[in-house]
């Protein structure tokens, strides 16, 4: 019984991948012209399964910080899918309010979910540490960092949302071109927006300290695998691989959520 969810996850990755390869090899024009429909049809099942498993695992956990970690994994999976859909499908819309505004909002939500996931993971990692070590003084710096991240991403989403609602294409085009009009917006959009990526360093440090914990180790390994695929996806632009890699990220997030399930069983025994 324990292997059936993993088998289902594999099928949700392999079957859409195979169908995409078949369609692209035979009717590539059809795939290109119907991206807005085919992309969610192919990718949504594995991401929904990841979200479902994360929240179902959350219900089974007894300790609050572990429930938060599972919940953050589910939110991260949804935000990853939405940002990918916004970039691939919505960015091709002829409506500038959609193709310029929604991808930026999708990216902002993804960055916010990354930081939320980092916060939840750092608290869970400290809870599982027998010495309760505060990795990189996270408990002391998390509140100021949260304030900066919320202000930064909130400002970006407010500006983009206002520009989209008022059909201010000058602002939207400026954001798309990287010209923001004043020094403050330039600093916010180009530098402060990268703050959530501090989570890569923090989670790596937490993973090193949690190397004795088999459950967290598997969780971190699958997250690292998903992060590597995501990095390849958006930085190397390998022709014909986007959909497969994106499905691979979804499968990695599902496995990261699935790996937390043994924590729930242990907690029920302990409690």
User: Residues 17-65: pLDDT tens digits?
Assistant: 998 888 777 666 666 666 667 788 889 999 999 999 999 999 988 889 9
pLDDT at residue 266 above 60? no
Closest among 210, 269, 256, 214 to 63, alpha carbons compared: 269
Q: Say if CB 6 and CB 255 are below 8 A apart.
A: yes
Residue 268 has pLDDT above 70, yes or no: no
Distance between CA atoms of residues 249 and 79, nearest Å: 12
Q: What is the mean pLDDT of residues 67-94?
A: 88
Domains in the chain: ranges and CATH? 4-270 (1.20.1070)
For the chain, what is the mean pLDDT?
A: 84
Residue 5 has pLDDT above 90, yes or no: no
Residue 262, pLDDT score = 57
* Residue 133 DSSP code: -
Q: Residue 116 — left, alpha, or beta (φ > 0 → left; ψ -120 to 50 → alpha)?
A: alpha
Q: What token pair was written down for 20? A: 């995409």
pLDDT at 146 over 50: yes
Please say if the pLDDT value at position 189 is more than 90.
no
Residue 80 CA to residue 85 CA, distance in Å, equals 9
Question: Residue 111: pLDDT above 70?
Answer: yes
The answer to whether residues 124 and 69 touch, using CB atoms and an 8 Å cutoff, is yes
Across 76-103, average pLDDT: 83
Q: Say what the pLDDT of residue 265 is.
A: 45
Q: Summarize pLDDT for 112-132 with one digit per residue, the tens.
A: 999 999 999 999 988 888 788
Mean per-residue pLDDT for 180-194? 78
Q: Quick one: 240 exposed, middle or buried, by C-beta within 10 A (0-12, 13-18, 19+)? A: exposed
If you average pLDDT over residues 182-199, what whole number do you get? 82
Per-residue burial over 128-152, b = 16 or more CB atoms within 10 Å of its CB, e = otherwise: bbeeeeebeebeeebeebeeebeeb
CA distance 248 to 245: 5
- Can you read off the two tokens belonging to residue 60? 């089974």
Does residue 198 sit in helix, strand or coil? Answer: helix
């Amino acid at each position: 019984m324990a292997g059936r969810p993993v088998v289902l996850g594999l099928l949700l990755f392999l079957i859409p991948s195979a169908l995409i390869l078949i369609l692209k090899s035979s009717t590539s024009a059809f795939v290109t012209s119907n991206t807005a429909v085919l992309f969610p049809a192919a990718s949504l099942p594995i991401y929904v399964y990841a979200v479902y498993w994360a929240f179902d695992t959350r219900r089974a956990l007894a300790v609050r910080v572990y429930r938060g970690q599972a919940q953050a994994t589910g939110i991260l999976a949804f935000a990853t899918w939405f940002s990918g859909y916004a970039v691939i499908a919505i960015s091709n819309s002829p409506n500038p309010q959609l193709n310029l505004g929604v991808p930026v909002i999708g990216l902002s939500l993804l960055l916010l979910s990354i930081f939320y996931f980092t916060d939840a993971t750092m608290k869970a990692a400290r809870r599982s540490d027998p010495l309760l070590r505060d990795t990189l003084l996270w408990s002391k710096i998390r509140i100021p960092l949260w304030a900066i991240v919320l202000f930064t991403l909130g400002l970006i989403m407010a500006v983009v949302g206002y520009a989209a609602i008022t059909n201010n294409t000058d602002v939207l085009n400026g954001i798309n071109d990287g010209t923001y009009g004043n020094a403050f917006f330039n600093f916010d959009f180009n530098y402060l927006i990268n703050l959530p990526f501090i989570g890569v360093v923090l989670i790596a440090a937490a993973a090193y300290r949690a190397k004795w914990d088999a459950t967290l180790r598997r969780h971190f390994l699958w997250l690292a695998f998903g992060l590597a695929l995501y990095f390849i996806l958006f930085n190397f632009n390998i022709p014909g691989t986007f959909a497969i890699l994106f499905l691979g990220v979804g499968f990695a997030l599902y496995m990261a959520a699935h790996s937390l399930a043994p924590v729930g069983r242990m907690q029920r025994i302990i409690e």
